[in-house]
Amino acid sequence: MTSSYQQQLDAKVERISAQFAEYQPPALEVFESPEQYYRMRAEFRIWHTEDDLFYAMFERDENNNKKVIRIDEFPVADRSINALMPLLLAALKAEPILSNRLFEAHFLATLKGEMLVSLVYRCPLTAEWEAAAKAISEQLNIKIFGRSRGQKVILTDDYVVEELTVFDRKYQYKQIESSFTQPNAQVCQKMLEWACNAAQQSDKDLLELYCGNGNFTLPLSTCFRRVLATELAKSSVYAAEWNIQQNGIDNIQVARLSAEEFTQAYNGERVFRRLQEAKIDISTYDFDTVFVDPPRAGIDDETLKLLQRFERIIYISCNPDTLHDNLKQLSQTHKITKFALFDQFPYTHHVESGVLLEKR
């Protein structure tokens, strides 16, 4: 397994180095993943036979037909998920009301040791289901969340609290069941440290677009006078504000705006009541750095123009193709001074990368 991991990582390094060579970046910094037990999320179909049920995934054969693969252990997922899988399955089998028409099981684990399991059904969830689910929740010391069409049943919480260590400080993060979180927590910690090293220390302010639940926001706040972070999804804004308060950080404000809306506000093209209600006055900020971690589609043209006005851009990307495309515009005004590959998704073609761009 070691040789195959190293081979796939070497192939990614070669591919990314070649893809970005035209921008003349510095040497690529490579951050490896653990070879096994690295993923904090796992989702399985529950496959029913006449006298049994089991976790399942699918793969396609040479004729593109889907084939059911029984999953008894899953070394991709965190050890805590692997330990829980047979215990949970046995408990579900022992209670017909819990196994009947059960469609999927989703696991969300944390380095801190908390676990949330979402059970997805193709039938309504009753009071009897709730009582049985609560019993196994207590028996297995996990949080359980039930879903069916038009129905959500939260027994205790619909979130876990993760603890990530960045240099010598620990940060607490609320991770909500249906919201995005970085799946590889150990590589995520390396990404956070890399971003802080790229930021260095500034006596000015940081703008962050697409902040999510504040994953990067919290540690980056130690590098700047103040941080203004933007995020559109309400659940992520709520989690980010909880995380800021929970960690006792007092120099971050979160604005519920998309990147496009922030650009309009920053340029004075629109006035947003959401900014007024949050008591955010953009004109009081003195930004020298912008941090972006956009979705796979990358950054729109107007936001790219906004980024070009800053001295420094820290760009984390989950899609090297859109990063490469965005750099066509950004490289007209900025030069890559740090370049990193984070192996968030071992044994897949997916790559997480990072660049620090500084004004020419």
Average pLDDT over residues 71-100: 97
Tell me if residue 33 falls in helix, strand or coil.
coil
CB 67 within 8 A of CB 60: yes
Query: Looking at residues 270-279, what average pLDDT do you find?
Result: 93
Q: Quick one: pLDDT at residue 64? A: 82
* Residue 210 in marked binding region: yes
> Annotation-wise, does 201 bind a ligand?
no
Q: Pairing state of beta strands 159-166 and 169-176? A: antiparallel
Average pLDDT over residues 253-276: 94
Domain 5-36+183-359 has CATH 3.30.565.10: no
Is 102 within 8 Å of 88 (Cβ atoms)?
no
Residue 296 in contact with residue 318, Cβ under 8 Å? yes
pLDDT of residue 6: 95
Instruction: Tell whether the model's pLDDT for residue 60 goes beyond 90.
Output: no
pLDDT tens-digit readout, 201-216? 999 999 999 999 999 9
User: What average pLDDT does range 301-328 have in this prediction?
Assistant: 97
Interior/surface letters 124-152, b for 16+ CB within 10 angstroms, e for the rest: ebeeebeebbeebbeebebbbbbbbeeee
Give the global pTM: 0.94
Q: What is the pLDDT of residue 198?
A: 98
* Single-letter code of the amino acid located at 236: S
The first and second tokens of residue 199, run together, are 């930021």
The reported pLDDT for the residue numbered 37 is 98
pLDDT recorded at residue 1: 54
Which amino acid, 248?
A: G
Whole-number CA gyration radius for the chain: 22
Residues 232 and 245: beta-carbon distance below 8 Å:
no
Residue 265 has pLDDT above 70, yes or no: yes
- 250 labelled as ligand-binding? no
Half-sphere exposure of 259 (CA within 13 A, CB side): 23
Percent of the chain with pLDDT over 70: 99
Residue 56 confidence class, pLDDT cut points 50, 70, 90: very high
pLDDT at 90 over 80: yes
Query: Is 329 a known ligand-binding residue?
Result: no
Instruction: List, for residues 12-42, the tens digit of each pLDDT value.
Output: 999 999 999 999 999 999 999 999 999 999 9
Residue 318 designated active-site: yes
Instruction: With a cut of 60, say whether residue 110 has pLDDT above it.
Output: yes
Exactly one of 128, 277, 318, 358 is catalytic; name it: 318
- Torsion sign, CA atoms 11, 76, 59, 151: negative
Q: What is the pLDDT of residue 2?
A: 57
CB contact set of 216 (below 8 Å; sequence gap of 6+):
191, 192, 195, 208, 291, 293, 316
What's the whole-number average pLDDT of the chain?
96
Q: Where are the domains of the chain?
A: 5-36+183-359, 41-160
Indicate the CATH number for domain 41-160: 2.40.50.1070
CA-CA distance, 212 to 156, in Å (whole number)? 23
Active site residue 95: no
Q: How confident is the model at residue 319 (pLDDT cuts 50, 70, 90)?
A: very high
- Do 262 and 272 touch, CB atoms closer than 8 A? no
Residue with tokens 């260590």: 165
Distance from C-alpha of 94 to C-alpha of 172, rounded to nearest angstrom? 36
Is 293 flagged in the annotation as binding?
yes
